[in-house]
Structure 1
Amino acid sequence: MDHLSGMDAMFLHLESAEMPMHVGALHVLEVPEELREEFFESVRTFVAQRIHLASIFTRKLANMPFDLSNPVWVEDEDTDLDHHVHHITLPKPGSNRQLQQTIARLHSSLLDRSRPLWEIYIIDGLKSGEVALYTKLHHAAVDGQAGIEVGRALFDMEPGGRKIKPPRPKLRRNQYQLGVAELMGAAILNSGQQVFKLAKMIPEVGGAAKRLFARGEGSSGPGLPGLLKPKQWLAPSTPLNTAITNQRSFAGRTVPLAEIKQIAKAFEVSLNDVVMATVSGTLRRYLKESQELPSGSMRAAAPVSLRQSGDDTENNQVSILTVDLATDESDPLVRLRRISAAATRSKESLTTYRSAIPTDFPLLAAPWLISGAASLFGRSRMADWLPPAANLVISNVVGIPVPLYFAGAKVLSFYPVSIPSHGMALNVTVASYNGRMDYGLIACRRALPDLNEMGDYLLEEHQRLLALAGSGTSSVPEPETKASCSH
């Protein structure tokens, strides 16, 4: 029996039909000719031999009596691969657009909580002859860094794979769910442990509060007076800041990693600053065309890891920073430098307070209290009129610098597929892989019905920054906006 931390459980309690809380990835595979005919069957065998390498594949949730406490993970003694591993063939012509629409549809459905919270899809029928792999994992079980550990279970460094030692036989309890007394005892024990952890953190929390009061407007980050100003924590309203439906749109785009490094080196900023500036310029152009660009600067919510070096536990240890995107600035180089400065200030603030951020905390009746509040927030459409703290999520996942293989097929791409939410209908997540940077754009289809145009603008904005880096000029003119039309 393994308890969910308070942070892990939040991803369960906040989930609704409109806001599934799973993350995924789209990989395009180059399958050798000799493996194509029986590839799906070989994948099922491949997965069956490896599911013991990461606990997410073989554990499921057990709810506490009356939902008085967070669920626990228990071992699933009868993992049904027919439920978890699926095969889809695209209709002709098998275009990339059809593939993206299929990913959007698959990503919109909830995972079955009575089973281990993962699914794998093999998608063939692409006119290119390639095969797609789509993986889907619940965020309650895995964050971005722990997902890398899951990837190590599924992917190899060589086409022939590696020899996997079979799991040791375990004693079967033949028990579908645990008893009420056992669960209640575990809940009481875990709550006590959580209270003890929080009590140990009191000195650090007090120190963080003291540092917060001591910081002033002239420091590298805002103190308490600055944080109390609305401009420090509110973003302008945009069409992205709305209550969402469960329907999704998805677009994947790729740029060479070497080009992002060239831009970063030329302007002495980080790779993540370049990603932020690329997305910022894309949003500015996209919203300007529809005359919906706000006069104030948009802000991004950026997940950051709290995980210590060497910690490979498969749980969530994350916090959120907000970063000024400078969308009110027309000059792309000035915009990049503003973003870099804002990101630096946010990172410094996190460094100051990160040890005081709890990742585990007790909360009596959390499942029905938080779930009820989340449901009320979504159904009342409060996100349509509440001022947002951020306009969208932008996340950067550290990837793998070398080619990987899955069931003998070469992995060509790694497009992240993440989580839109009420109030932030667009999520842009990027991952580096084998000399490329893959952007995964996922959104509520009602708010952004077709992300392909935004994806194309993203590539153009990247080329604009690259031209600046290569030419040494201070600026290039903004692209002309298209004339809007009504129907």
Structure 2
Amino acid sequence: MNYVPPTDAIFLLAESRERPMHVGGLQLFRTPDGAGPDFVAGLIEEIRSHPVQWRQFTRRPADPVASFGNVWWTEDDDVDMEYHVRHSAVPRPGRIRELFQLTSRWHGTLLDRHRPLWEMHVVEGIEDNRFAVYTKLHHSLFDGVSALRMNERALSEDPDDPDFRTPWDRTVKKSLPATTNAGITPLSLIRNAAALGGTALSAGGTAASFLPASLKLLNSALRDNHFTTPFDAPRTILNTPIGGSRRFVAQSWEIERVQSVATAAGATLNDVVLTMCSGSIRRYLVEHNALPDKSLTALVPVSLRRNDPEDFGGNAVGAVIASLATDVADPFDRLLAIRESVQSAKRVMSELTPHQILMMSLFNISGLTFTPIPGFVSVTRPPFNIIISNVPGFRNRKYWKGAPLEGVYPASIVMDGQALNITLTSNVDKLDFGITGCRRSVPSLQRFIHHLEDSLAELEKAVGA
């Protein structure tokens, strides 16, 4: 048996029927030209024939799973591949809507702790000669970025590649790309900050660096009106206790459209993404007569480049809280307000050491640790209203057994007080958005897809892009 680090055990301890702690991803493929009607069935047979070689895909909590399993891993020597790799089909005419309904159902069910903590669902019968693969993995073993990288192991840039691979194969044709810039999700910062914080604390370094960093943030909060702090968010219908059922929807937008707005406005691509999300949330809340007078805030991972390439690998990543300017009606003014809020946070964080950045990121996220306490969400203000993550994805076209990858849509975690999550990743020339919500707390989740398009269109009109 292997010891479960406390930073990973958090996700086992926090899990309940209302709070599944797995991350997921939906990949959409087009069947290769000339493939027969049995292509997907043959693909599944080949997937199941590959033995599991990576330990993450063999691990499950030790018995008894509800107590001892939170501390120790055990490994299954013989993984039941027919259980873990499942064959499904959508009803005719095989619309994307039915695929999202299936994904929503799978994403809302707990992984079986008596088996390794992962599942793969291969879905055929999708319109336009397509099939999909939905994979879910427990957050105690994978975060959103590592899950994306694991799935990338199976893909190739060569449509005629004779080698077929699965995410659990040990040997790959080439090394995986390094995770850089904002290649991290806010929840994974809990693991990273706690691990680094514990190391530094044992060396006596964190306590000494934490105080000046705290004073820096306090001073910025008092002097900079654009600097956003935790628990400065209004209560909304998105920040309530949640149930166990989920809704999932997804859509892609061309990077060129988003970048054109950013260039015309003198903003970053991520500023425009946040403004798209802000506009969609504002429209949704207006529809439900629930838009507060005070602006909503978002927890966002940002990249903080340094001049010294030896300092933190040339990059530092922090989780900052940014205003979404939902109280601003004009789309262009909203973009400028969001840009200034993000820049204010970057100015403060850029003066901190890597240890301080991670500790401050943990401080920004700390409000999430109390949400499992009964009644906490109902009597306190949310630390922020939503988590929005932009994860670097694929720069080049990918294939799986000759099938081109058309979309890769992240499905993330929602929790008490955080009933909505927006995660996106780049895929060659597109941004693929995955939106996850509590089915009860966030009705008509599909409206966000329409609102995102409307928000981008009004930004294009505002800047003349």
TM range (shorter): 0.7 to 0.9
- Inter-partner Cα distance in structure 1 for 2:254 and 2:126: 23
For 2:207 and 2:58, how far apart are their aligned partners in 1? 37
Unaligned runs of 5+ in 1: 169-192, 312-316, 362-369, 472-487
Quote the offset at 1:147 in angstroms: 2.4
Q: Distance in 2 between matches of 1:153 and 1:296?
A: 44
In structure 2, the residue matched to 1:355 is 355
Q: Match for 2:296: what amino acid? A: M
Alignment partner, residue 295 of structure 2: 297
Match of 2:115 in 1: 115
Deviation, 1:230, is 10
d(CA) in 2 for partners of 1:124, 1:304: 37
1:459 counterpart SS class: helix
Matches within 5 A, 1:55-454: 55-62=55-62, 67=67, 70-161=70-161, 163=163, 197-213=199-215, 217=219, 221-222=220-221, 233-303=231-301, 309=313, 320-351=319-350, 352=352, 354-356=354-356, 357=358, 377=373, 380-454=374-448
Cα shift at 1:208: 2.8
Q: Secondary structure at the match of 1:275?
A: helix
Cα distance in 2 for residues equivalent to 1:405 and 1:394: 28
Q: If the length of structure 1 is used for normalisation, what is the TM-score?
A: 0.77
Q: Which runs of 5+ in 2 are unaligned?
A: 172-194, 305-310, 363-367
Partner AA of 2:151 in structure 1: G
Write the distance in 2 (CA, Å) between the matches of 1:293 and 1:138: 34
Mean Cα deviation higher: 112-121 or 277-286:
112-121
1:183 alignment partner in structure 2: none
Q: Is the 8 A contact 1:208 1:353 kept in 2?
A: no
- The 2-side partners of 1:305 and 1:336 are apart by 19
Match of 2:454 in 1: 460
| Cα distance in 2, alignment partners of residues 215 and 195 from structure 1 | 18
| Secondary structure at 2:421 match in 1 | strand
Using the alignment, how far apart are the partners of 2:384 and 2:49 within structure 1?
42
CA pair 80-9 structure 1, distance change in 2 beyond 3 A = same
Shift of 1:215: 5.7
**Contact residue 50 and residue 154 of structure 1 kept, 8 A:** no
Question: 1:59·1:116 contact (CA, 8 Å) conserved in 2?
Answer: yes
* Letter in structure 1 aligned against 2:266: E
Distance in 2 (alpha carbons) for counterparts of 1:208 and 1:389 = 20
Query: Alignment partner of 1:347: what SS?
Result: helix
Q: Distance in 2 between matches of 1:326 and 1:237?
A: 15
Q: Give a deviation string over 1:200-233, Cα, whole Å, max 9, x none.
A: 453243123124325664xxx337x999x99753
Instruction: Identify if the C-alpha distance between structure 1 residues 346 and 231 changes in structure 2 by more than 3 Å, giving closer, same or farther.
Output: closer
Shift of 1:355: 0.8
- CA deviation after TM superposition for structure 1 residue 80, in Å: 1.3
Highest RCO, 1 vs 2 (Cα 8 Å, sep ≥ 6): 1
The structure with more radius of gyration:
1
* Cα offset, 1:287, TM superposition: 1.0
| Whole-Å separation in 1 of the counterparts to 2:390 and 2:228 | 27
Q: CA deviation at 1:136?
A: 0.8
Retained in 2: the 8 A contact 1:261–1:271?
A: yes
Match in the other structure for 2:190 = none
Aligned length in residues: 423
In structure 2, what is the Cα distance between the partners aligned to 1:215 and 1:296? 22
Kindly tell me: are residues 106 and 122 of structure 1, through their superposed partners in 2, closer, same or farther at Cα, counting changes over 3 Å?
Answer: same
Q: Which amino acid in structure 1 is aligned with residue 453 of structure 2?
A: L
- Distance in 1 between residues matched to 2:260 and 2:197, nearest whole Å: 49
Give SS of 1:155's match. Answer: coil
**In 2: Cα distance, 1:457 partner to 1:384 partner:** 28
Write the distance in 2 (CA, Å) between the matches of 1:82 and 1:213: 55
Identical residues among aligned pairs (%) = 30
Q: Relative to 1, partners in 2 of residues 1:425 and 1:216: Cα closer, same or farther, differing over 3 Å?
A: closer
The more displaced of 60-69 and 416-425 is 60-69
1:153-181 Cα offsets, whole Å, 9 max, x none, are: 2212122336479869xxxxxxxxxxxxx
Give yes or no for contact 1:396–1:430 (8 Å, CA) kept in 2: yes
Q: Aligned equivalents of 1:310 and 1:432: distance in 2? A: 22
The alignment's TM-score, normalised by the length of structure 2, stands at: 0.81
Partner Cα separation in structure 2 for residue 51 and residue 65 of structure 1: 22
1:454-475 CA-partner distances (Å, limit 9, x unpaired): 210111111111223335xxxx
SS in 2 for 1:329: coil
Match for 1:428: what amino acid? I
- Find the aligned partners of 1:72 and 1:134 in 2 and give their Cα distance: 28
Partners of 1:145 and 1:133 in 2: CA distance: 17
**Letter matched to residue 38 of structure 2:** E
Aligned residue for 1:132, secondary structure, equals: strand
Provide the alpha-carbon RMSD of the alignment: 3.5
> Do the aligned partners of residues 216 and 243 (structure 1) sit closer, same or farther apart at CA in structure 2, a change above 3 Å counting?
closer
Measure the CA separation in 1 of the matches of 2:322 and 2:209.
Answer: 25
- Paired with 1:358 and 1:216, the residues of 2 have a C-alpha distance of 15
Q: Shift of residue 305 of structure 1?
A: 8.3
Taking a change above 3 Å as real, the CA distance of residues 278 and 74 of structure 1, as seen in their structure-2 partners, is same
Q: 1:343 Cα deviation (Å)?
A: 1.6
Matched residues in 2 for 1:329 and 1:67: separation?
Answer: 49
Note if contact 2:196-2:355 (Cα within 8 Å) is conserved in structure 1. no
Amino acid at match of 2:288: S
For residues 353 and 291 of structure 1, do their structure 2 counterparts lie closer, same or farther at Cα, with a shift above 3 Å needed?
Answer: farther
State the SS of the aligned residue for 1:242.
coil
Q: Shift in Å at residue 384 of structure 1?
A: 3.3
The residue identity in structure 1 corresponding to 2:199 is: K
Tell me the secondary structure at the aligned position of residue 45 of structure 1. Answer: helix
Contact 1:43/1:407 (8 A) holds in 2: no
